[in-house]
Amino acid sequence: MFLEKLFQYSGSLWPICIHRPASVQPDGDDDDVANKTTSMSAADPSVIPHLDLTDTLLHYCRLMSCVPVSLGLRGSLNQVSLNCVVQDMMTALRMGPTDHGKLRYIHEIGDINIPLHQLSTVIPNAVEVEPLEWARRAAAAGLDTFLVELFRSVVTERNLVFPTLTRKNMNSV
């Protein structure tokens, strides 16, 4: 919100570009982002930003050896490598402002999508449990209260949808 307000305050004179990355993953083999992320989070929970949904979900699924499963949990978790985000930001800087007087958003999308209905394939030996049970176990294991409530809401709201993101469908945003 800060950059949007700065843009308004400037009278739309300053060109501002806001990058909105999906879940940013460490550098390395981009084809193995999902496995690397869950391995890293299992080894060192301090590398997980405490409200990053994707990393936190994968970390607690691995920690508890269970995944939430519900018809109300739909879509995919998108992961983008840090290297890809940095390259896109540098490209935007080199291009410079394209439209003066416009606020520009760039959605940084990776090539890795983990379908929520297939979480158990990403977490070896995980059992499938209802979201309420998963949230209860995760809370006991130390999951942030905000995220615990988010997963509890899957039961009460009956729907938590994460659209599958691809570079193709983001070009028009």
What's the average model confidence in pLDDT over 144-165?
75
Closest CA to 92 of 173, 19, 31: 19
| DSSP states along the chain | -HHHHHHHHTTT-S-EEEEEESEEE-SS-GGGHHHHHHHHHHH-GGGS-TT-HHHHHHHHHHHHTEEE--TTEEEEEEEEEHHHHHHHHHHHHHH--SSTT-EEEEEE--SEEEEGGGHHHHSTTPEEE-HHHHHHHHHHHT--HHHHHHHHHHHHH--EEEPPP-HHHHTT-
Convert the pLDDT of each residue in 31-54 to its tens digit.
444 454 444 444 454 555 556 778
Convert the pLDDT of each residue in 70-108 to its tens digit.
877 788 888 888 888 898 889 888 887 766 667 788 888
List CB contacts of 31: < 8 A, sequence separation 6 or more.
Answer: none
First-last CA distance in the chain: 18
Q: How many CB atoms lie within 10 A of CB 49?
A: 12
For residues 114 and 145, what is the distance between their CA atoms, to the nearest angstrom?
Answer: 24
Is the pTM higher than 0.75? no
The residue count of the chain comes to 173
